[in-house]
Amino acid sequence: GAKISDYLLKPVNPNQILLVCKKFLEGKRIKSETVSRDYIQELNKINMSMMEPLDYNDWIKINSDLTQWEMELDEHPELGLKETVLATRKECNAEFCRFFERNYLEWIHGKKEGPTFSNGIVEKYVFPELGSNKSVFFFVIDCLRLDQWMLMEKMLYDYYKISKDFHYGIIPSATPYARNSIFSGLFPSEIEKHYPELFAKGEDDENSKNNYEKEFLQKLLDRKRIKLKNELRYVKILDADFGKGIENKISSFSNTHLNAIVVNFVDILAHNRSDNAVLKEIAPDESAYRSLTQSWFEHSSLFNMFKILSQQKDIKIIVTTDHGSIRCMRGAKVLGDRETSTNLRYKYGRNVKIDDRQAIFIRNPQDYKLPKRGGIVNYVVTKEDFYFVYPTDYHYYLNHYKNTFQHGGISMEELILPVITLEPKV
């Protein structure tokens, strides 16, 4: 009955059928016209706002509003506004990158009031919950964009009271930097300085560089003199089978005072899409990528975990991410030697050269609270939707990585990130 749009009462005459058909057809047209009109009004508001001085909260609102509209327009492909949406996002990102570049150094050095960054999440959102009698679950979902979370959030409304806040990721917006920063409560250069034994050296392997997250979190608890009722539990879910195993026993985790759970599947989805022709075909753009994420979450062990935990009374769940991702559309030619790192959105090395219109060139890593790596090292971090391509086989790699989701750079999608608090409705 819930899917029935209207009823016809017998005896049925042709006029009734005509009126009902007209109602359906006209209703869809009117809804489309309303959406189109409201979207154009929203665009005008955003364009006007960008002519005024904006702060970090203004950009959070702009990104949230844009994301909401992009998802609304997913439901109305007949309006033909896809190119307008992409152009608006591109223009906003260009302005956001200029804003971020102007303010980032003053923010991280405390010279200007700024947003909460990766290193402030645990202290601001997790630690205050430990004072209650509740078991706290801290989920870090790797590589989660705001639009992906908003789809997941809709599926959790029936189970939780949900409150949403935001933080800004640090740069580079990549796991070895941002996630270690989340768990340690420190910037990368501070980790290198205070815990050299835990600061993994070598290439930026996104798994091996994050082998000490539990240790970092425990040291943060110790520094803040927070004593847990029992041992900190830390779990990293790297594949579906392991996730299923955690799902089967997660109800028992509510006996633990603090549970930290890292979920890597969204990051794997982004990386696999870059190299998998079938996934690229299934998710050719942001709209389809959202749909793919929704399909994954609906059938995932993560969703099942949330459903199981929603039946527990004395728990609080905090959900966030280390970084998002952006669909890269423009190549940026980069020069570097053999020692230069291999990432597509950021690089470090001794002889890295790039056009500064396409990336930030970081001559002194300490200014950006980045690790020195034991020598004279420069960093470059891409802006907007650029990705690095070497001159060797330039056109091959330009085409190979175009239209892939990457992270590590500066964009709203990578850096403006949700922090969610979930409280069961039971």
Percent of the chain with pLDDT over 90: 67
Residue 246: enclosing H or E segment and its boundaries? helix 240-249
In 3D, which of 231, 234, 289, 230 has the Cα closest to residue 263?
234
CATH 3.40.720.10 correct for 118-325+413-424: yes
Burial label, 71 (beta-carbon count in 10 A; 0-12, 13-18, 19+): middle
Percent of the chain with pLDDT over 70: 91
pLDDT band at 200 (very low <50, low <70, confident <90, very high): low
- pLDDT tens digit string along 43-84? 889 989 988 999 999 999 999 999 999 999 888 888 888 888
pLDDT band at 209 (very low <50, low <70, confident <90, very high): low
- pLDDT tens digit string along 339-392? 888 899 999 998 899 988 999 999 999 999 999 877 778 999 999 999 999 998
3 state SS of 320: strand
Residue 219: its pLDDT value, please?
96
Residue 203: its pLDDT value, please?
43
3 state SS of 323: coil
Torsion of CA 58, 120, 138, 417, to 10 degrees: 30
3 state SS of 149: helix
**For all residues of the chain together, what is the average pLDDT?**
90
Phi, psi angle pair for 235, to nearest 5° = -135, 135
Least confident interval from 19-23, 48-52, 108-112, 298-302: 19-23
- pLDDT tens digit string along 237-273? 988 899 999 999 999 999 999 999 999 977 677 666 6
Alpha-carbon distance 425 to 422, whole Å? Answer: 9
Q: How far are the Cα atoms of 19, 265, 348 from residue 341, in angstroms, in the given order?
A: 66, 24, 6
Cβ contact 336:380 at 8 Å: no
Report the greatest alpha carbon distance in the chain: 87
Query: What is the gyration radius of the CA atoms in the chain, in angstroms?
Result: 23
In 3D, which of 148, 149, 146, 141 has the Cα closest to residue 179?
141
Cβ contact 381:171 at 8 Å: yes
Cβ contact 286:147 at 8 Å: yes
The beta-strand segments (E) located in 203-358 are 233-237, 258-263, 315-320, 326-328, 330-335, 346-349, 353-354
Q: Taking residues 125-129, what's their average pLDDT?
A: 97
Q: What is the 3-state secondary structure (H, E, C) of 62-100?
A: HHHHHHHHHHHHHCCHHHCCHHHHHHHHHHHHHHHHHHH
Alpha-carbon distance 301 to 111, whole Å? Answer: 43
